[in-house]
Every structure is written in C-alpha cells, then in structure tokens.
Structure 1
Amino acid sequence: MELSSAPQPSGDPARWRQRQRRLQRPEPAAARSASGRTGGELGESSSASGAPSFGGPWLGGEEGARTQLLFSPRQDCAGWAQGAQSVRALAARCCRPSPPPLNTGGVRGYGRGGGGGGSGGSSELGVRPGCALLSLLSSLLLLLLLRLLWCPTDAPARSRLLVDESEEDPQGTSPALRMLRSPAPPVPRTTNSTYLDEKSLQLTEKCKNLQSDLNSLFNRTKRQKEDDYLQIITDIQNCPWKRQAEEYENFRAKLTSCCDAIQNFVVSQNNTPVGTNMSYEVESKRTIPIGENIFHMLPASQPFVEYPYNQCAVVGNGGILNNSLCGAEIDKFDFVFRCNIPPINGNVSKDVGSKTNLVTINPSIINQKYQNLKKKAEFVQDIATYGDAFLLLPAFSYRANTGPSLKVYHTLRESKARQKVLFFHPKYLKQLGLFWRTKGVDAYRLSTGLMIASIAVEMCENVKLYGFWPFSKTVENTPISHHYYDNKLPKRGFHKMPKEYSQFLHLHMKGIIKLQFGKCET
C-alpha cells in the first residue's frame, strides 16, 4: 500500500507524515506472535486468495472460507458442532485488543488521548468492525447446537436437515430452521418375535411327535386307558389343523383300489345281476340267490348323481354332542351322513342338526324298537323326519338281517314314503374290513361309523366328523353318556372302538379328515 495513495487530512502536514512513518515501522516479533495475524493481514489474505469476504475486509482468506462453509448445509450434527467451535475461535482472535499505534496527531479514533490529540489521556481498546456481529453469530450457533443434541452422532442427519431450497416458505422461515423446529421422526419399534417363534417351533415339534405318541399307545399289548387317550387328544386340540390335499388323495386312492365305494358299496342291478349267488359278509359260507323279487328292489346303478360332494358331515351319536351347539354348522354341509336312525327332532336339533341325506338302519333296531315292524305306523312316522334321505341297511351281512331289511323296503313302499331303501353290498364290507385290518383294526366287525366315514372319504372332497367319542368323559373330566339320546353300551369285544378312534386321530393329524372334539363355535 502506497503512502501517497492515502488521503491527507486537514491539519498539520508534518504531524500526518510523522504518523505515517511510525505506522510503517515493523511490529515487534513478540507482539506479532502473541496476536497472530492483524486485521490488515486478514484483509490482504482475503484479497490475495480471491475468497469472498463476509461482513467486510476484516474476515477473509482461510477464515472467510471456513465461515462460508459453516453456513452451508451440514450433513451431520458433528459438523454443526465443529462449525460453532470455529466461529468461537475466530471471534476470540478477531475481538482481542489490537496493539494501539502511536498517535501524535489529532486523528479521531486512533491512538491515545481524546479530543484534538495530545500525548496524555486514558487508554482505549481498538475493537474491530463486525466483531460484535461475529460474537452474536457464535452464540446463535451454540443455541442451534443445543437444539441438535438429540441427534445421534452415528446417524446421518441429512434426511432431517436438508430440504428443497427452492421450496417456498409461506411464512418466510428458512427451510433449515423449519426442519430444526419439526419434531424428530418416530423411531419404529421393533417387535421382539423371538419368543413367539420359539414357542411356535416348540408347538410344531410337539405336534409332529404326537404321531409317534399315538402309535406307541396304539401298539400297547395291554388295554389302553382312557386318560392316556384324553391327554393325547388335549395335545391334538392345541395343534392347528389344515387339510392336506396330497395326503387326502393318496388315502382315497388306496381306498378306491381296495374297495371302490362309488361302484360297489350299494347293491345295484349293475353290479349284481339276476341269478347271482351272493355270499354274506360275515357268514361267508352262506349264500343267497338274487332272484327277480330282490333284483327289482335294487337301484339300476349307484344313486349319488351329484358325486363328488364338496363338503360332507358324518354325524355319530356320541354323548359329546350334548350341548355342543353344532346343529346349525352340520346343516350347512352339502351331504350329511347319520348312523342308526337317531333322534333329530326337538331340542336335540340345536346340537345335532336335522339335515339328513343318508342314514343307516341296524336291523336289530327294527326287531327291538319296532318289534319286527309290528309297530309299522310308528316306524313310518319316525322315518318321515329324515325327509327324502336314503335308508341304508346291511341286509346281507348276516342271514338274520335279510328278513327285517326286506320288510323295511316293503313297508315304506306300501306307505308311499319319500325315502329310498339301499342295501350294503357284502363284498364291499368284507373288502373294507380287510383294508382296516392292515391298519391294525382287527375287530370282529367294523362299526357303522367307520364304514360310513370310509365311504364319505371316497364320495366327498372334505369330510368332517361329529359325535365320534368312545369315552365316558370329556377332556375336562366331565362325565357324558355313551349316546346323546341314551347310555346303552355296545356289546363288549364286538367293536374295537379305541383302535378305530386311533385311526380317526391319525387321519385328523394327517389332514385327511377333521374331527370335532367339543363344542362348535356359534
């Protein structure tokens, strides 16, 4: 900087030149090391580097660049803290007392003395322009830093701090300040599903082990106890049930290969022509010739024209149905099987339903309850409650069954009843008995319930069993009757009810059929 370029103030020229010479004297090294760069050096550095100054020539160069960076959007909270520290350091350097130059003249604002000059007077600190503004700015940044204390140091804050600068703020607030004022986004709470997953895995493993537990119980040489079955049934109830289409098709294919219920379970003109010597199911050495009179009682072919049925219910007569409230659910099925003409009228209908598509009749009921149809009117009235259902009788299982069964046919024909009489084919029942014997059911004869359930698997796509319960109490240890309408027990040793029920449990766990164990959901 040339001295001649400075304007000469009015007054004594000699004093002004003396002051200029003193200003050009080099500052002592100690003073320079203690104070750092002067304001002039800052200005010259700013001019030399070409960095844009902020607030005048007192802030430029490196500090100016640092300050400009400070006010650009930061990417994390640590950057804001570093910027605030830089501003505070810069303010401390800028606002320290500068060494007062010697002043012999009366230039106002320089040196010591007041008024028109002189060598005496009080000392006055030389504060650089804009220093107060820088201190204020440093305080503001510290406040902002406190506002940002909630920001985690290890997470980028750009998503919270950066906004589109081109977006207009209707209230005139800067976008960065708007984002600072906005609350922090809620941190999503993670659900700790480890316990649930472990519990599900334990339940799945337990359900898989139930098959082996049931097999162990089934294969016991000693008589099985009710409590052992009830414990397994309790565990089965806690396992989710799902129909397994592949298991269903495989089991149905085995039944069809063995027995073919669709073509063979009913005696028809198609599978039993005139002149056939039919063997009885149990008394296999005995035969009955099929003459014209019996042949004309038979349907031309299998009568189930809507086969296969989608949803089928097989309703047993177990006392577990009492107070079950399953009636409405049962009546919604496409096809309903019932066993041994049980009562369905009155209050019991809420538990057992009333819809019936096929019902079996044990000839022993004809002899005992209706005195070999001497009570013909009572029989016809009771049968009328089943609507136009098929009546299925084992006419050719024993020779003693043939007479009562044929009598039922003639009685209903004479009374012009709506029901149609069908007869079990003895060959089908024999083949079915052999099939279940390979599964471990070595009974003298299968129960009607197992026969009908086997037929339903071949006739239907989905099968659900109600009222199958061969136990004297529920899983809650509540005593129940053998049937929902009486407590007459079957002949001891005639059926293998526990083993039959074990087969139902196996089919249930494999997803082939579904067992209803207790009350229905209303």
Structure 2
Amino acid sequence: MRKKLSIVINLLCLGSLLTTFTWYAFEDSFVELHRPNPQRSAPKPSELCKGCKEVIDEVKKLYNQTWEKHEENYHRFRLQLSINCNGSNNGIVTQENTPVGSKIICDKDRSVISVTPELFKIFIKENPFSKKRWDTCSIVGSGGILTNSGCGKMIDSADFVIRCNLPPLENEFHNDVGRKTNLVTANPSIFMQKYGSLTGRRRAFADSLQQYGNSLLLFPCFSYGGTRPACQRAVYAIEDMDIPIQPIFINPRYLERLVKFWQSLGLKEYRPSTGLYLTSLALEFCETVHLYGFWPFSNHPDKLFPLTNHYYDNVPYDRKVHAMPKEFSHWVELHNKGVLKLHLGDCKSDQV
C-alpha cells in the first residue's frame, strides 16, 4: 500500500518549503517541522503554521475511518510473526530457555553476559504468553493525542492492557488513558536517569509502581551490557519491598529477529520503538489489537491544535534512534487491512 501512497505537497511552513515527496520523505519533513522543541512554548491555535491542515488532511486520507477486522489478513500476518519471531515462546527470557551457564548476547552492543545462579533466579520460570490468548488487547502509547481524548473507559474495557515506559495514570490522566494495566514496560534509562540507577534510596521507585497493581513489568535489559546491573537492582527493590508487580525481561534474540522481520517489510531504523515490539508481540496472542496514543505529529488530526509529545510531558523522542513516522505508516497500513485497529480520534466520537 505504501508504494501507492505518493503525496505531492507544496507547503510553506515555518519558513521551510516542502515540495514533491513520497510518503517517507513527507513523514521525515513533516515531523522535523513539527517536532516539539523544549526551548519553544507551544503555539496557540491561531499561530499554527500555514498549510498544516492540508498536510494532515493528506495523512487522514490514508486512514480508513470505517474499520472491520479482516480475519484472513490478520491470521496471515500473525503467522508471519510467529514463524519469523515466535514471541509466544521466545519473546521473554525465562528459566526454560536461558539456563545457568548459558550466554546472553546483547542485541545492540553485542556484549556477552554469563547467566549466573544469582541472575537465573530473577528470570520468570516460563513465558507468560506461551499458552495464553486474549480476545481484545489495548496497547497504549504515550502520545499527546490522548490528552482530553476521553479514551480511558474504552482502553480499560479490553481483556489485556499494555502500557509503555511507566506512564502516569492517576489524577488528571485516568479519564483519558485509563488505569487497568496487565503489562507495563520500563526502559533501563528510567532507572538510571530518574532514580539514580537505584544505587541509593529506592522508595520513590517502589511507590511509582503501585499504580500498576500486580501487572507484568517488562524490561529490555539485555540490549546493552551496562544496563543489566540497574535492572537487577530494580528487581531486588521490587522483591525487598513486596511490590506485587512481576518483572520479566525481553529476549534479545527475539528483538534481533523482530528487527529483521520489520526490515523485510521496509522499515529501517536504528532501534524499534517500545510500541513496535509490544504491538508485534501482542499480535501473536491477542485476537483483536487496539492502538491508542500512536500519532507522531504535533498537531491534532481533527482540530489541529498543538499537541505535546507525550500526554504527560513535552520531551521529544530521539529521531536518531527511532523512526516514529515510518512506524506509523505501517500501523495505518495494518489498520486498513483489518489486522489491527488504530484509534486516532477522541473516544467520545472515535473518529478522526
């Protein structure tokens, strides 16, 4: 589908001229022009760049607002994921697939970690997804599009709810993003930057986990050798303070296979986003996958008012690492094929 989606745009916006672009070139230029700048305050609606409506309208034309699951397309894509990645069995590091004495090769820096008895003890015994199937799953990104969306009840109505990178759920946020959590991820950088690598007091970290109840806590701890100690300390803090959450670790072998799979579909980036590997994993064990908070641009697709990068802050993502607009084009394609449902509107109307 993406090969047919050639967009011709002539737009003078923020002093930059956009001329003829393919879908990918359009994505890169548009997100660069609209990328949140922490040094600049968000513009008022009256200050939106001239021509942005036309650009967003082109994006909306690619999105089929009338969605129906296509069983054949869904099962075909699920089978491709299962054959090439097999997240249901290999997605998580377990005591079954990673015994004492084995070696873990980190997927990014290629450092080698020996599995000691001490490290082995913090692995879950078996993959929590290998024998499970859920009818509906909500995968909740952190995009600013969720602000004032009213999507909380719809998100929580799913059988299994997945969230990215320890997002806040309480107070002013729950009406838009819900509270139910069955799995939440935590990048090791959060431990290192926000909680001082957990080398000192850990109460603030432990308290932050209470809002997720007895969910699974997924760490990508074996991408770089240097992050493993902080992850291990996080597990110890959870155990020592009797937090009911269950730590699990993404398998770097699975990440390697996942990268190759998406590269075969034309997606090339330094590292897949958390949303990409969560959605890929969920498509193997969920019958119907719903995506919320996945909109990589900084203006609302309907009302065009400016959005923060996340619903809780305006910290930009690293464009050298992730290719969010390119990932988004794949979500639109899978949505249009009936493989998953991408929600881009407020849940009161559920329309773009």
TM-score normalized by the length of structure 1: 0.57
Distance (whole Å) between structure 2 residues aligned to residue 221 and residue 255 of structure 1: 28
- What's the counterpart of residue 335 of structure 1? 160
- Select which of 16, 22, 46 maps to 1:217: 22
**Aligned 8 A contact 1:214 1:232 in 2:** no
Number of the residue aligned with 1:64? none
Q: CA deviation at 1:368?
A: 1.3
Deviation at 1:417, TM superposition (A): 1.1
Shift of 1:369: 1.2
2:12 corresponds in structure 1 to: none
Identity over aligned pairs, percent = 37
Matching residue within 327, 334, 337 for 1:510: 337
1:323 matched to 2:323: no
Q: 1:408 aligns with which of 218, 225, 234?
A: 234
Match of 2:315 in 1: 488
Q: How far off is 1:300 after superposition? A: 1.6
8 Å contact from structure 1 (residues 210, 232) kept in 2: no
Report Cα offsets for 1:247-303 as digits up to 9, x if no partner: 00000100011110011111001111111111101112x211111111111122112
| 1:221 Cα deviation after fit | 8.9
- Residue in structure 2 matched with residue 133 of structure 1 by the alignment: none
Shift of 1:239: 3.9
Q: 1:383-423, CA deviations, whole angstroms, 9 ceiling, x for partnerless residues? A: 01100001110111001211111111111001111011101
Would you say 1:420 and 2:212 are equivalent positions?
Answer: no
Does structure 1 residue 380 correspond to structure 2 residue 212?
A: no
Cα shift at 1:231:
2.4
Secondary structure of the residue that 1:225 maps to in structure 2?
helix
Deviates more, 1:488-497 or 1:505-514: 488-497
Which amino acid is 1:301 matched to? Answer: E
Determine if contact 1:210/1:236 at 8 Å carries over to the other structure: no
Query: Which secondary structure does the structure 2 equivalent of 1:248 belong to?
Result: helix
Q: What do residues 463-500 of structure 1 show as CA deviations (whole Å, max 9, x unaligned)?
A: 00000111010123210000000000012321111111
SS at match of 1:405: helix
Q: Distance in 2 between matches of 1:264 and 1:498?
A: 28
In the other structure, the counterpart of 2:328 is 501
Find the aligned partners of 2:241 and 2:287 in 1 and give their Cα distance.
36
Alpha carbons of structure 1 residues 347 and 239: separation in structure 2 relative to 1, 3 Å = closer
SS of match in other structure, 2:76 = helix
Would you say the 8 A contact 1:463–1:514 is kept in 2? Answer: yes
Residues 440 and 499, structure 1, Cα contact 8 Å, conserved in 2: no
Where 2:5 maps in the other structure, the secondary structure is: helix
Shift of 1:521: 2.4
Deviations 1:203-241 (A, max 9, x none): xxxxxx887226983354994435576223322456411
What are the residue-to-residue correspondences of 1:50-129 with 2, within 5 Å? none
Structure 2 residue 32 is matched with structure 1 residue 240: no
Q: Which is richer in strand? A: 2
Q: Secondary structure at the match of 2:190?
A: helix
Residues 221 and 339 of structure 1: is their aligned pair in 2 closer, same or farther, counting only changes over 3 Å? closer
- Counterpart Cα distance in 1 of 2:138 and 2:131: 16
**Residue 173 of structure 2 aligns with which residue?**
348
Which of 250, 265, 270 is the matching residue for 2:91?
Answer: 265
The answer on 1:300 being equivalent to 2:125 is yes
Counterpart of 1:440 in structure 2 is 266
1:149-204 CA deviation, whole Å, 9 max, x = no partner? xxxxxxxxxxxxxxxxxxxxxxxxxxxxxxxxxxxxxxxxxxxxxxxxxxxxxxxx
Q: 1:222 to 1:415 in 2, by over 3 A?
A: closer
Amino acid at match of 1:436: W
Uncovered stretches (5+) of structure 2, i.e. residues with no partner: 8-20, 32-51
| Structure 1 residue 367 corresponds to structure 2 residue 192 | yes
The secondary structure found in structure 1 opposite 2:168 is: coil
The change in CA–CA distance for 1:289 and 1:214 in structure 2 (over 3 A counts) is farther
Change (3 A) 1:446 1:222: closer
* Runs ≥4 residues deviating over 3 A: 214-224, 226-229, 236-239
Distance 2:55 2:168 in 1: 29
Distance of 1:264 and 1:320 partners within structure 2: 33
Q: Contact (CA 8 Å) 2:2, 2:329: kept in 1 or not?
A: no
User: Matched residues in 2 for 1:210 and 1:259: separation?
Assistant: 23
Q: Does 1:313 align with 2:138?
A: yes
Residue 293 of structure 2 corresponds to: 467
Which residue, 386, 394, 402 being the options, matches 2:220?
394
Q: Helix, strand or coil: the match of 2:196?
A: coil
RMSD, aligned CA = 2.0
By how many angstroms is 1:352 displaced? 0.2
2:112 matches 1:287: yes
**Which one-letter code corresponds to 2:214 in the other structure?**
D
The answer to whether structure 1 residue 452 and structure 2 residue 278 are counterparts is yes
1:438 Cα deviation from its structure 2 partner: 1.3
Question: 2:284 aligns to what SS in structure 1?
Answer: helix
Aligned residue pairs: how many? 313
CA 210–240 in structure 1, closer or farther in 2 if over 3 Å, else same? farther
Segments of structure 1 that go 5 or more residues without pairing to the other structure are 1-208
Higher relative contact order (CA 8 A, sep 6+): 2
Q: Is the contact made by 1:211 and 1:506 (CA closer than 8 Å) also made in structure 2? A: no
415 and 222 in structure 1: CA distance in 2 versus 1, 3 angstrom threshold: closer
Q: 378-387 vs 238-247, which deviates more? A: 238-247
Write the distance in 2 (CA, Å) between the matches of 1:403 and 1:240.
Answer: 47
Change (3 A) 1:507 1:232: farther
3-state DSSP of counterpart to 2:208: helix
Instruction: Tell me the distance in 1 between the aligned counterparts of 2:305 and 2:259.
Output: 33
**Is 1:231 paired with 2:23?**
no
- Is this contact kept in 1: 2:298–2:307, CA < 8 A? yes
Answer whether contact 1:472 1:480 (CA < 8 A) is retained.
yes
Q: 1:505 to 1:346 in 2, by over 3 A?
A: same
Structure with more helix by fraction: 1
Match of 1:519, SS?
A: coil
- Residues of 2 paired with 1:223 and 1:316: CA distance? 20
